[in-house]
Amino acid sequence: MADLIIIGGGVIGLSLAWELAGRGLVSQVFDQGPIGRASSWAGAGLVPPPHRAKDLNDPTCMLRARSADLYPIWSQRLLDQTGIDNGFRISGGLDVALNSREEPALQSMTGRWRKQGIRFELVDDIRAAQLEPELTKDFSRAFYLPERAQIRNPWHLRALQSACQNLGVTMHPHVPIQQLLVKNNSIEGIKTNHGEFAARQIVVAAGAWSGPLLGNLGIHMPTTPVKGQMLLLDPGQILIHRIIEHEKCYLVPRDEGLVLAGATEEHVGFEDSLTDSAKGYLWNEAISLVPKLAQSRIVNHWCGFRPGSKDSRPYLGQVPGFSGLYVATGHQRAGLSLSPGTAESMADLITGQPTRIALDGYSVAREAAPRRDEAVRS
C-alpha cells in the first residue's frame, strides 16, 4: 500500500511531491496524460514580485507573498539537485494603460502594491523609453515593477519531475484515475484503467479535471476550465527585456529574443481548438504595445485549461468528512506563481505540522469569498 498518492502531475502535484519527498514522505504521482504537460506547461510563467509588508492578512495575498519569497530559493535548489535551470529571471515589468479610460484600473493597483510592500515606480515617457525603447509611445500611464519575475514552465516542470525522481517519487503517466475508493469515510485508494492502487492518503491535484473526482463522493467543488490561448513570437532580434502587461494581456520576453503574447480567457469548457480570432486578438495586443513586433513570425500557438474555482481562490486542505483525502487545486490564473507556497503549506498539513499559511480560507466547504481580481494577470 502506498502512503500517499497524488493525482495530477502538473505544477501543483509535482511541487507537493517534491516538498514532501524532501521531508521524507515519498509519494506516487499519477497522471492521465504525460507528466507536466497540461495547464502548467501552457502557462506564461509570470511570478509576482516580493511583498515586503508584514501585515498581509488576505489568504491569497499571503500565499502569493510566500511563493514569491520561495521562488528564488526553490530555483537554486532545483538547479543544485538536478542541474536544470528553471528559467527563473527577475526581468522586471512595465504595466501600462493605453488611454485615459484604462487609467483608473491601473492606478487602483498602486494602492494594492503600496499596501503589500511591492516596489513600483510611475514612469514618464523618457524613463519608459530608457527601460523599453520599443514600447509604444502611445501609452497614457505606465508603472515599472523592477522585481517582477518569470520562469520557463517547461523547464521548471522538467526540473521538478527530475528532482522528485531523484528522491524516489514514482511517476505513473497515462494512467487516468476513474474513481476514488473510500470505505467508512476513509480513503482506501484509487481505481484506474490499470487496476486499483491502495493508499492511506490521497491528494487531488488534477487541475481543471478535479471537480468530477470529488463529485463521485457527493462533494461539490467546481473547477470549471478557463481556456487560455497564447502565441509565441519570433521577432528575429531582441526587442524587449521586461514583461509588459496591459489589462489582461501581457508580453513576456525570453532570453533568446522570443516573446510570449498571452492570453485569452474563454469559458468554453474543454473545447481545445486554436482560433483565428484569438490569434488576431493577441497579435493586435502585441503590436499595439510594441509596434516592431509586427515583423515577427508566429512560432507557436497553443492553449491550456486553467482550473477555475467558485471564487477565484484555490481549494487547499483536507476534505471535510473524509479521512486521508486532500485537495490542492483551483488556482486559476496563478497556479505557477502560487505553487511553492501551496506545496509548503499542504506538506505542513499532511505531515501534521502547523501550516505556514492558515488554510481555512481555502477549504472546499467555504462560502464563496467575494470576487477580487487579485491574481497575477496571466
Specify the amino acid at residue 131.
L
Alpha helices in the chain (DSSP H): 11-22, 39-42, 59-82, 103-116, 125-131, 153-166, 210-215, 276-289, 335-350
Q: Which of 27, 28, 32, 82 binds ligand FAD (CB under 6 A)?
A: 32
Q: Which of 154, 176, 257, 291 binds ligand FAD (CB under 6 A)?
A: 176
Q: Which of 97, 230, 290, 357 binds ligand FAD (CB under 6 A)?
A: 230
Q: How far is the CB of 67 from ligand FAD (least distance, A)?
A: 9
Is residue 30 a contact point for ligand FAD (CB under 6 A)?
Answer: yes
Residues numbered 47-86 forming contacts with ligand FAD, rule: CB under 6 A? none
Cβ atoms of 155 and 12 closer than 8 Å? no
Residues numbered 87-126 forming contacts with ligand FAD, rule: CB under 6 A? none
Q: Using CB under 6 A, which of the segments 41-49, 125-133, 159-167, 361-369 binds ligand FAD?
A: 41-49
Q: Distance between CA atoms of 50 and 298, rounded to whole angstroms?
A: 33
Q: Using CB under 6 A, which of the segments 140-148, 158-166, 200-208, 233-241 binds ligand FAD?
A: 200-208
Q: Distance between CA atoms of 258 and 234, rounded to whole angstroms?
A: 5
Q: How far is the CB of 40 from ligand FAD (least distance, A)?
A: 3
Q: Using CB under 6 A, which of the segments 38-46, 116-124, 318-326, 356-364 binds ligand FAD?
A: 38-46
Q: Which three cell numbers stand for residue 360?
A: 481555512
β-partners of residue 36 are: none
Residues numbered 295-314 forming contacts with ligand FAD, rule: CB under 6 A? 304, 306-307
Cβ within 8 Å of residue 171, ≥6 positions away: 9, 28, 29, 31, 35, 161, 164, 165
Based on DSSP, count helices (H) and strands (E) in the chain, helices before strands.
9, 18
CA distances 300 to 124, 196, 234, 254, 262, Å, are 34, 39, 9, 14, 12
Q: How far is the CB of 245 from ligand FAD (least distance, A)?
A: 10
60 φ, ψ (degrees, to nearest 5): -65, -35
342 φ, ψ (degrees, to nearest 5): -60, -50
Nearest CB to ligand FAD, comparing residues 205 and 293: 205
Q: Using CB under 6 A, which of the segments 71-79, 207-215, 266-274, 315-323 binds ligand FAD?
A: 207-215
Is residue 148 a contact point for ligand FAD (CB under 6 A)?
Answer: no
Interface residues with ligand FAD (CB under 6 A) are 7-13, 30-33, 37-40, 42-46, 176-177, 205-207, 209, 213, 228, 230, 262-263, 304, 306-307, 329, 331-337, 376, 378
